[in-house]
Copies of this chain bind each other. A is one copy, B any other.
Amino acid sequence: MPQPRYDVVAIGNAIVDVIARADDALILSEGLTKGSMRLIDAAEAQRLYAAMGPAVEVSGGSAANTLAGMAALGHSCGFIGQVADDQLGQVFTHDLTALGVAYTTPPLAHGAPTARCLILVTPDGQRTMNTFLGASHLLEQRMIDEAMIANGAILYLEGYLWDPELSRAAMRRAIDVARAAGRQVAFTLSDAFIIDRHGDDFRALLNERLFDILFANEVEICALAQVDDCDAAIAAIAPLVPLLVVTRGEHGAIAVRDGVRTSVAAEPVATVVDTTGAGDLFAAGFLSGLVRGDTLDRCLISGAVCAGIIIAQIGPRAQSDLQTAVAARLG
């Protein structure tokens, strides 16, 4: 196999986040589950937006956030995802390419507008996400740049894309392309509701040994393993994937490889401002270490540093220098 041009190629939702501060009363009156993500249609997006306070717009999307973090950490990256030919699509495209990420998926000319995620951030820093997928869920298999995938050492996929039928087919094809090219496939479970709907599919993929790296949080790994206990869930899933990474919020993170567990504590954060992107940036820091050939404990610390930076600010794209912070922590 030729040397890959990209450290990571990711496929994910192409979303602009619309982030507003909200009090707990709004979460309650809207009947939302704090900390979760739900999909909404255009009408609901319009209604909820009108009920929200003033917002800021920041590019988002789970895998795209991870890629933005990796690019900021100095890695060569490629992104595949569907925006529309509109102002928010231009914003998303700019913010990714300005970091040096290769992003060439043509915008959708007609149909749906660029996806947005209405995010309510409560005073405890917790984020509750309401995603209008728009153009993003119209990512077709023919839009997948197979040459780019074959050119990435790691293919990184987000579980969110399993939900729309079109993009699910595209993901399956992308996995085949990556494996045929001898590349690694990393997968993040994204959210418990995705596992509720597509857990059987994920378990089948794991049983086929199609994933090389799996990212999950505690809730997700339990949902995937269909058990209540996190340790039992890790024990059940770890044999199915060469490298399992489980984030545990304020309790740190665990990696399991070859039956060996490595764990680290969370990095100290003065004030949790907004947890949006915490898992995405953890993955960025972790993968960055992995690509550099670091030991797993250092990969985990690198992930924890990036997650710690992102939850101390508004939005999932780092406003400060990740590279310096990680280097300072790891020495």
Binding site for B on A (CB under 8 A): 18, 20-21, 49-50, 52-59, 68, 86-88, 91, 94-96, 98-99, 113-114, 314-315, 317, 319
Asked if A54 and B113 make an inter-chain contact with CB atoms under 8 angstroms apart, the answer reads: no
Q: When the two chains form the complex, which single residue of B86, B98, B114, B314 contacts A53, counting CB atoms closer than 8 Å? A: B98
Residue of B nearest to A318 (CB): B54
Asked if A52 and B319 make an inter-chain contact with CB atoms under 8 angstroms apart, the answer reads: no
Sample of 14 more A-B contacts, CB < 8 Å, known A87-B87, A87-B88? A18-B91, A52-B94, A54-B68, A54-B94, A54-B96, A54-B98, A54-B99, A55-B91, A55-B95, A56-B317, A57-B91, A86-B86, A87-B114, A314-B319
Asked if A315 and B56 make an inter-chain contact with CB atoms under 8 angstroms apart, the answer reads: yes
Asked if A95 and B59 make an inter-chain contact with CB atoms under 8 angstroms apart, the answer reads: no
Residue of B nearest to A17 (CB): B56
Asked if A57 and B56 make an inter-chain contact with CB atoms under 8 angstroms apart, the answer reads: yes
Asked if B57 and A317 make an inter-chain contact with CB atoms under 8 angstroms apart, the answer reads: no
Complex alpha-carbon distance, A59 and B319, angstroms = 19
Q: What residues on B are CB-neighbors of A317 within 8 Å?
A: 54, 56
Residue of B nearest to A16 (CB): B57
Q: What residues on B are CB-neighbors of A68 within 8 Å?
A: 54
